[in-house]
Amino acid sequence: MELMYRTNFGEAYCGDSLDLLDSLEDNSINLVMTSPPFDLLRQKSYGNLNGEEYIEWLTQFAYKVKNKLTDDGSFVLDLGGAYQRGVPVRNLYNYKVLIKFVEEVGFHLAEEFFWYNSSKLPSPIEWVNKRKIRAKDSVNTVWWFSKSEFPKADVRNVLVEYSDRMKKLLKDGEKYYDPKERPSGHNISAGFNKDNGGAIPSNLLQIPNSESNSQYLKYCKSVGVKGHPARFPAKLPEFFIKFLTDPDDVVLDIFGGSNTTGQTAEQLGRRWLSCDLDKEFVAISSFRFATSEDEARNFYTRLMNDEVVNINEYRLL
C-alpha cells in the first residue's frame, strides 16, 4: 500500500484494497460506499472479471469489509446490469452477489435501491440499437448491506422537496384536499398536512450522470491526461453519506476511481479513505481537491514522482 495524498479529512492510497482493509482496525469504518468494476463481457481499461470468477473475487472484499464495519455500519454497493454473451438474456451476477453476501458472508440486506440514470446511452448496441428488441439499460442495482439488523440511518437527512401539489396542501389543506377512505381502508387525513421539511425519498434514485465540464475533467484536459472512464455522480454517494453517517464518521471507498466518494465525504465533514490499484487514476483524483490548473499540474507531477502530497499543508507554503 502506498499513501499518495491526504487532506484534513482523508487519505488516498494506491494498491490492493485487500491490503488496506487488513491494515485497518476492526469495527472502525462507518460506511463503505463503492462501485467496483462490473461483471462485463467487454474488457475495460480499469480491469474487470466476469462470471463466477467475478463473484468470488468480489466476495473476498465483502468478508473483510464486514469485519471493519462498526456494528451499526453499512456497505453500499453499486452494480450495473449486464447481458449474457451473444444472447439478449440478462446476466444475474448482481443478484448472485446479493444472495452470496447475505447467505454466505452474513450481511443483512437493509434495503435495495435502484439508480436511474436518465442520461445513460442506449445499450447494449446489438440488442437495443441494431436489432431493436430490448429497451435501453438505464438502472443500476444499489444494494444497501448492513452488519446488524439495525444500522445507523436517518431518512430525515435526505428528505426531498415537496411536490407543487403537496406545497398547496400544506398551505391550505382544507381547500385542496378532501380526505376519503382509501381502498385499503386506511384514512390518511390525520397529520397529512404537517410540514416535515420535505418528503421521504423513494428507493428509486433519479440521478443523471452527465458530467462533462466539471473541475475534475477540466484539470484532466489541462494536464493532458484522461479522466477515469467510470465515474459516478456525486449525488449518489452524497445520498448515502447523509443517510447513513454522522459528521466525523469514517467513509471508505475500496474501488476509489476518481475519488468522488472522498470529495463528497470531505464536503460533508466526514473522514474518508480511498484506494485504487491504478497509480495514475489516484494521482488525477487529487484534481478534485485542487483550486487551480497550476495546482492540479503540481499535484500530478509530484504524485507520479512518488511524493506524498499533503494538500492542506501545500497551500500553507
In this model, does residue 139 exceed pLDDT 50? yes
Separation CA 289–CA 149 (nearest Å): 36
Q: Clarify whether residues 194 and 153 are in a common domain.
A: no
Average pLDDT score over residue span 91-114? 97
Domain check: are 170 and 141 in the same one? Answer: no
Element (H, E) at 33: strand 29-34
Residues comprising the chain, all counted: 317
Q: Are residues 153 and 174 in the same domain?
A: no
pTM of the entire predicted model: 0.90
If pLDDT is split at 50, 70 and 90, which confidence band does 317 have? very low
Q: Quick one: 187 and 282 in the same domain?
A: no
Q: Tell me: do 44 and 176 sit in the same domain.
A: no
How many structural domains compose the chain?
2
pLDDT digits (tens, 9 = 90+) for 269-294: 999 999 999 999 999 999 999 999 99
Does a structural domain hold residue 299? no
pLDDT above 90 for 71: yes
With respect to residue 221, please indicate whether it lies within any of the assigned structural domains: no
Tell me what pLDDT residue 301 has.
Answer: 96
Q: Are 189 and 141 found together in one domain?
A: no
Is 177 a residue whose pLDDT tops 70?
Answer: no
Determine, yes or no, domain membership for 310: no
Dump pLDDT digits (tens) for 181-190. 666 655 555 5
Does the residue 222 lie in any domain? no
CATH classification at residue 83: 3.40.50.150
Identify whether 104 is part of a domain: yes
Catalytic residues: 35-36, 78
- Does residue 64 sit in the same domain as residue 91? yes
Q: Which of 47-61, 256-270, 297-311 has the lowest mean pLDDT?
A: 47-61
Residue 30 and residue 13 share a domain: yes
**Percent of residues, the chain, with pLDDT higher than 90:** 72
- Tens digits of residue pLDDT in 203-253: 999 999 877 668 999 999 999 999 998 888 999 999 999 999 999 999 999
Residue 137 counted as domain residue: yes
Residue 118 pLDDT greater than 80, yes or no: yes
Instruction: Say yes or no: 66 and 187 in one domain.
Output: no
The pLDDT value recorded for residue 184 is 62
Q: Is residue 4 very low, low, confident or very high in pLDDT (cuts 50, 70, 90)?
A: very high
Long-range contacts, stretch 264-272, CB < 8 angstroms, 24+ apart: 264/234, 264/237, 264/238, 265/9, 265/10, 265/237, 265/241, 266/7, 266/9, 266/10, 268/238, 268/241, 268/242, 269/9, 270/9, 270/241, 270/245, 271/9, 271/10, 272/9, 272/10, 272/11
Q: Do residues 75 and 193 both lie within one domain?
A: no
Nearest to 110 by CA among 58, 140, 152, 55: 152
Is 123 inside any structural domain?
yes
44 has pLDDT over 50: no
Same domain? 37 vs 181: no
For residues 277 and 148, state if they share a domain: yes
Name the average pLDDT for the chain.
89
Domain region containing 181: 161-199
Q: Tell me, what amino acid is at 236?
A: L
Q: What angle do CA 117, 119, 125 make, to 5 degrees?
A: 95
Partnered with residue 300 across adjacent β-strands are none
Could you read off the pLDDT of 10-28 as tens digits, one per residue?
Answer: 999 999 999 999 999 999 9
